[in-house]
Structure 1
């Protein structure tokens, strides 16, 4: 399945639209405007919350938790690495995702058991952050899309903090 994540141009919080490969809206991400840390809700078009993303503060490396149906479902962690950026999407069971690639260019992939199961690339010429995501059949689209939002948040925070 192919998706496009596009950040809203004008919004109080970090809000995103997610569409399918034909440009039809599929999901919305609503970020809370005034909160300690990032708090984002991934919803279907009827408003049902499919995942809630919560940034954990006061951690050595960036860490976010993904909740489904009010229960902790997964964690996204930025891993310590001297030269490359690497993330882990820790989901229940032994089938975690490793996320690696060229984060400077915002092109990365999700690997599970050494096999690429999703690829992500950022549109270069866009007013807002826009990503194309291709997810293999049978993978957990909601977890992967949530992790893409987290990575955008982490990279955006790093970019803002490096300018001081």
Structure 2
């Protein structure tokens, strides 16, 4: 279980990622003046381990996830999904994931091959954006965290953009 919590009074989209014991495992630095909606995920020593940025030219909101400097996935909003939000997490090879949920409830599941591998819940009644992420499958945890950050960026821009 991870908690992704927006930092209060931060300039840009800065988050801390905490594990189930409350220890900080990652810091997310939202680049303030970035046209590409870019966030950098850093380990506790301040080293970049992953990044998420928006493609400027795309028919639908599309975010590239890089882990260790390598392209790990593209997170794309599916078009024409009334009443539900759906995003494809397109990874190299055949094992794509799908993130789907209810925009109003802010509850999402991430599935791979039809099996749930993670559940994401945006917590209500908090001053800052907070996501609870429960990973139940054998997937790269950093990929799931980065995909949730891509979701947050897409929702901040207005999903219809």
For residues 96-133 of structure 1, give each alpha carbon's deviation from its aligned partner in whole angstroms, at most 9, with x where no partner exists: 10111112221000000100010011111100110110
- The runs of at least 4 aligned residues of structure 1 exceeding 4 Å deviation read none
Q: Residues 1-164 of structure 1: matches in 2 within 5 Å?
A: 2-83=1-82, 84-158=84-158
Give secondary structure in 1 for the equivalent of 2:158.
helix
Please give the alpha-carbon distance, in whole angstroms, between the structure 2 residues aligned to 1:82 and 1:44: 35
TM-score norm. by structure 1 comes to 0.92
For residues 46-92 of structure 1, give each alpha carbon's deviation from its aligned partner in whole angstroms, at most 9, with x where no partner exists: 11211111111132210010112322221000010240210011112
Please give the alpha-carbon distance, in whole angstroms, between the structure 1 residues aligned to 2:143 and 2:9: 26
Give secondary structure in 2 for the equivalent of 1:108.
strand
Give the CA RMSD over aligned residues.
1.6
Please give the alpha-carbon distance, in whole angstroms, between the structure 2 residues aligned to 1:30 and 1:82: 31
For residues 6-39 of structure 1, give each alpha carbon's deviation from its aligned partner in whole angstroms, at most 9, with x where no partner exists: 0111112211000011211111100111111211
Residues 137 and 59 of structure 1, relative CA distance in 2, 3 Å threshold: closer
Give secondary structure in 2 for the equivalent of 1:77.
strand
Q: Between Structure 1 and Structure 2, how many residues are aligned?
A: 160
Identify unmatched segments of 5+ residues in structure 1. none
